[in-house]
Structure 1
C-alpha cells in the first residue's frame, strides 16, 4: 500500500518516514550554511587580498563576481542534472568540486589563480545547492514536517550569510585571509563522509533513452550567465553602454528562445507546467527584490563601518553579531507561524518589516554614529524581519512541486537569489557610489558624501521591498496552512532509483 493510500485511509506518512531524515537535514543545512557564508565571508577580506595578490581595483571585483556569475548561470542546469542523474550523486559531485576549488583559492599565488578558483567554486555551488534543496521534499513527505524542514533550511541560509561577515573579519585580523577558504574543507569532508550514510539516492523517472535537452540547457544557462554578467558590468559602466546592454539583451533573447523551444520539444529541460503555479512563480520573482536589498545592505554597511567610522575588519565582523542573533530569532518565529498563517501573510509581514528596518538603518547613518543608537537598531529590525521571510520564500518556491521537478524548482529559486544579489550590486551600490563621486566633486567631504549616498541606496532598497509586498498581495494565491501533499502524492508512485536499500521517504 502506498503512502498516499494510507493518507486516504486516515493514516500518516510519518509512520513510513525515513528515520535518517533529520540527520540528513543536518548534513544538507551544514553544507548550505557554508555555501551561503562563502558569499559574504570574502567581502571583509578584499582589502587584504588586494594588497597580497596585487589586484587592480577593477580586477578585485572579480573575486566576488566570478563566484556570483558562475553560480547564478549554472544553477538551473545543476538542478535539472540532479533530477535526472540522482540528487545525492550530483550533490556529492558539487561538494567535491567546491572543496577542491576552496583549497585552490586559499593557496592562490596570484590574482589569476584566485579568480579561476572562484569560478570553479561557483560551479560547485550550482551543482550542490539545487541538489541539496531538491532532496528535502523527497525526505520530508509529510506536509507539516516539510514546512518545518524548509524553514530551517531557509533560516540557516540567512544565518550563513550573516555569519560570513563575522568569520571573515575574525580570520582576516587574527589569522590570514586564506583561511576564509580553507575553513570550507572540513565541512566538505564531513558532508562527503556523511551523505552516503544518511541520504538515499533519488531521481526523476525517465523513459528509456531520455536524455538532457541540450538546446534548452545551453540557452537557459547562457541566458542567465549573460544577464548576470550584464548586471555586474553595470556596477562599473553606465547603463546605456554597450558593455551593459549587449549582454543584458542577449541574455533576454536567449531566455525568450528557450521558452519557445521548451514549449515545442517533447522532453523539455524546464516543463512549462512549472510556471503554472502562481505562488511558486511569485515567490521566485520577489526573491530577486528581497535579495537585492539584502546584498546591498550587507555590502554598503561593511564599507560604511570601515571607511566612514574607521572600524577594523575584526570590529566590523563583530558588529554583525546582533544581526545574526536577530536572524536566528526571526527564523524560529517564521517556522512556528508558517503552519498557522501560510506563506502569503508571512511574506507580506516580512517585506514590510524589512523595509522599515532599512529605513531605520538609513536614518541611523552619520559620520559620528554610535553603534548602540545608530547601527544596532537597523541591524536588529532588518535582520529579524528578513529572516521571517526566508523560510516562506523557500516554501513558496517549492509549493506543490512534484518529486519529479524538485531539483529544478530548487535551482530556479537559488538562481533567482543570485540574480537578486547581482541586481542589488549592479543598481543600488552604483547609485550610492555615483552619489558619492558627484558630491565629492562638488566639494563635499568624502565621509559626508559616503554617509548620504549609502543612506539613499538603503531607502531605495526599502522601496524594492514595498514593491515586493504589493506583488505578493496581488499575485500570490493564498496557501492553505495544511496544503495538499503534492510531493508525497507524486513520489509515492514515482520510480525512484536508490543506491541504498529502499526507504519509504524516497519510494
Structure 2
C-alpha cells in the first residue's frame, strides 16, 4: 500500500516540499535503492537472529521513518527517510513470507494462506492508489500529502502489537556471516548509477555526473569480482553467480528487466500527466488508477492458474495487451476531448495486461532451477526486479521531464508524455520478442 499510495500523490508531495522533478523521482528511487540493496541480506537475517526479532526491528524502524517522512521540511529530509524506509522494509517484508511455513506446516493450509497473502497484496495496491489520490485533497491538515506517510504509524504500531502477541520466535541458525561488503558495494553501485541519471539531467550533465556514471561501472565490476571471490573461498556471497549458467534463468531475468523498466515509470509519468498536464484532480486520478488495479487483480486471478498449461503464451498475450493499451493511451490522453469512460476503460485494459503477464514472470525465470538453488535464485530475481524499477523511473522519467521546461510548460506535456510512453512501448516490444524466442520447455539445469 505504501508503494502505490506514494505514486499517485507525487505532484502533491512535490508542491508541499517545494521540490524539483528530480526530487519527485527520488521519492520513488531512494526507497527502491535501500530495498534492493539489502533485500537478500534482510531475507537471511531472520534465520540468523530470529524472524520475530527481525520483523519487529524492521517494522519499528519503518514506522519511525514514516513519521519522519510525514514531518519532513525539505526534499533532502524526505528522501533520506525514504531510503531508511527501504532498508527497513528489506528486513521486514521477507519475514512475513518466511513465517508462513512455520505457522502453517500443513501443505493444503499453506496453499490457502499463500492465496490470501497474494490477495492482500492485490487489494493493498488498489486501496493505496485510491488513498494516494484522496488523502492529499483532504483538509484535515494544511498539507494533506503528509498523511500518506503518517498513516503508516498507527498501522505499524498495530502490527507490532499483534505480532508480539501471536508470533512465536523461530529457531536461530548458526551460519556464515552476512555479506555486508556485497550489500554495501551493491548500494554504492546503484547510487552512483541512478543519482547522476536523475540529478545530472536536471543540471545539464555536469562533469561530476559523468564521473559518477563511470564510477558505477567500476563498482559493478568490483561487486561481481567480490561475489566470485567469496564463492571461490567457500563463503556465502550475497548473490550466487552460479545460477547464471542456467539458460531459462538468464532469459527470464532479461524479460523481467525490460518489463520492470515499464512498471513504475508508467505510474510516474501518468500520475504527473493526468494531474499537471490534463488538469485532473488527485482524487479522480486515484479513482482511475483503482480501475487499473481492478483490471490487474481480476486478470491475475484468472490467468495465474493457466500459466502451467499455456506457459509463455500467457505472458506474451499480456505484453501485447499492454502495448495496445499504451498506443490507445497516446491517442486518448493527447485528445482535448478525452472522456472519463474512455480513460477508465483504457486504464482497466492496461491493468488486465499487467495482471496477465506479471504472475508468470518469476515462473519463467525459475522453472528449471534445481531446488537447492531456488532460494538464491529467488533473491537474485527480486533484487533485479527492484533495480529495474529504479532504473525505469530514472530513465523514462528523465525522458519525460527532459522534454518539459523548468518550470514545466503546459503545452509541452503532450510531447513529453508521447516520448516517454513510446520508450515504454519499445521496452514492452523487447519483452514480447524475448518471450516469443523463449523455448517452450528447457530441461537444462545448472
- TM-score, normalising length: structure 1: 0.73
Aligned partner (choices 419, 426, 437) of residue 463 of structure 1: 426
SS at match of 2:35: helix
Aligned partner (choices 291, 295, 305) of residue 336 of structure 1: 305
Pairing 1:289-328 to 2, within 5 Å after superposition: 289-328=258-297
Contact persistence 2:291–2:347 (CA under 8 A): yes
Matched, 1:272 2:236: no
The equivalent residue for 1:181 is 149
**1:302 CA displacement:** 1.4
Matched, 1:72 2:27: no
Matched, 1:117 2:81: yes
**1:133 CA displacement:** 4.1
Q: 1:221 to 1:448 in 2, by over 3 A?
A: closer
Matched, 1:63 2:27: yes
Q: For 1:290-320, what per-residue CA distance to the aligned partner results, in whole angstroms no more than 9, with x for missing partners?
A: 2221222211111221222212222222222
Q: For 1:334-360, what per-residue CA distance to the aligned partner results, in whole angstroms no more than 9, with x for missing partners?
A: 333234334x33322222222222222
The whole-number CA distance in structure 1 between the counterparts of 2:281 and 2:136 is 10
Worse-superposed segment, 239-248 or 323-332: 239-248
The whole-number CA distance in structure 2 between the counterparts of 1:36 and 1:286 is 23
Contact persistence 2:32–2:390 (CA under 8 A): yes
The equivalent residue for 2:12 is 45
Worse-superposed segment, 255-264 or 224-233: 224-233
**1:196 CA displacement:** 5.4
Contact persistence 1:38–1:164 (CA under 8 A): yes
The equivalent residue for 2:69 is 105
Q: 1:467 to 1:85 in 2, by over 3 A?
A: farther
SS at match of 1:320: helix
The whole-number CA distance in structure 1 between the counterparts of 2:188 and 2:228 is 15
RMSD of the TM alignment (CA)? Answer: 3.7
Pairing 1:65-214 to 2, within 5 Å after superposition: 65-135=29-99, 157=121, 160-174=124-138, 175=140, 176-195=144-163, 206=174, 210-214=176-180
Matched, 1:424 2:392: yes
The equivalent residue for 2:202 is 236
The equivalent residue for 1:414 is 382
**1:288 CA displacement:** 2.6
**1:90 CA displacement:** 2.7
The equivalent residue for 1:450 is 413
Q: 1:137 to 1:247 in 2, by over 3 A?
A: farther
The equivalent residue for 1:360 is 328
**1:152 CA displacement:** 6.2
**1:204 CA displacement:** 8.9
Aligned partner (choices 333, 338, 342) of residue 370 of structure 1: 338
Contact persistence 1:79–1:409 (CA under 8 A): no
The equivalent residue for 1:216 is 182
Q: 1:360 to 1:188 in 2, by over 3 A?
A: same
Q: For 1:208-237, what per-residue CA distance to the aligned partner results, in whole angstroms no more than 9, with x for missing partners?
A: xx3223443433343344334344445535
The equivalent residue for 1:347 is 315
Aligned partner (choices 376, 387, 391) of residue 355 of structure 2: 387
SS at match of 2:67: helix
**1:118 CA displacement:** 1.7
The whole-number CA distance in structure 2 between the counterparts of 1:35 and 1:402 is 34
The equivalent residue for 1:27 is none
The whole-number CA distance in structure 2 between the counterparts of 1:172 and 1:283 is 39
The equivalent residue for 1:14 is none
- TM-score, normalising length: structure 2: 0.82
The whole-number CA distance in structure 1 between the counterparts of 2:360 and 2:385 is 14
The equivalent residue for 1:474 is 437
Q: For 1:355-396, what per-residue CA distance to the aligned partner results, in whole angstroms no more than 9, with x for missing partners?
A: 222222122222514233542232011111102222223445
